[in-house]
Structure 1
């Protein structure tokens, strides 16, 4: 097998999956008191679940691939927001 798999994704999947992952991670962090070092792992598990079981049910490799992208986007956005708020509060 020398060809990469073709992954069909929809922009709407990313537009709803990333905010859902962010909201669930924030809920886990503040209400379940998940330690900060486990937050990226929780986001990855949530992103994989959403991608494999909802967005890409028909293709496991696409689900895994896109799940990592969804979770990385959510983690990056949360880190960026946290850094921006810290910077704003100290200035």
Structure 2
């Protein structure tokens, strides 16, 4: 039976670079390549998994997959939050 919580190590990539890099990738995919808004979460998930597995958590597949989904969720949450804030501000004026 598990009695201790697992130790999760993060690095500078996790804290500072992963989400902004993915945010730029998703926005470029939407604006430049005209990816429909319904596909943005798929784009974010694919690129987040690639970045996490091959760059951020190289050598640890389970950590790469686990953190890739977190990167994706944070990126899409940021995109939709900024969109709703912009729309609310625009409608307020």
TM-score, normalised by the number of residues in structure 2: 0.88
Q: CA deviation at 1:28?
A: 0.5
Unmatched 5+ stretches in structure 2: none
For 1:14-53, list aligned pairs within 5 A: 14=14, 15-53=16-54
Deviation of 1:5 after TM superposition, in Å, equals 6.5
Q: Distance in 1 between matches of 2:33 and 2:5?
A: 40
Number of corresponding residues: 90
Corresponding residue number in structure 2 for 1:64: 65
- Matches of 2:88 and 2:66 in 1, distance apart? 33
CA displacement at 1:58 relative to structure 2? 1.3
Q: In structure 2, what is the Cα distance between the partners aligned to 1:8 and 1:45?
A: 23
Q: In the aligned structure 1, how far is the partner of 2:6 from the partner of 2:57?
A: 13
State TM-score, norm by structure 1: 0.89
Q: Cα gap change, 1:25/1:52 in structure 2, threshold over 3 Å: closer, same or farther?
A: same
| Structure of larger gyration radius | 2
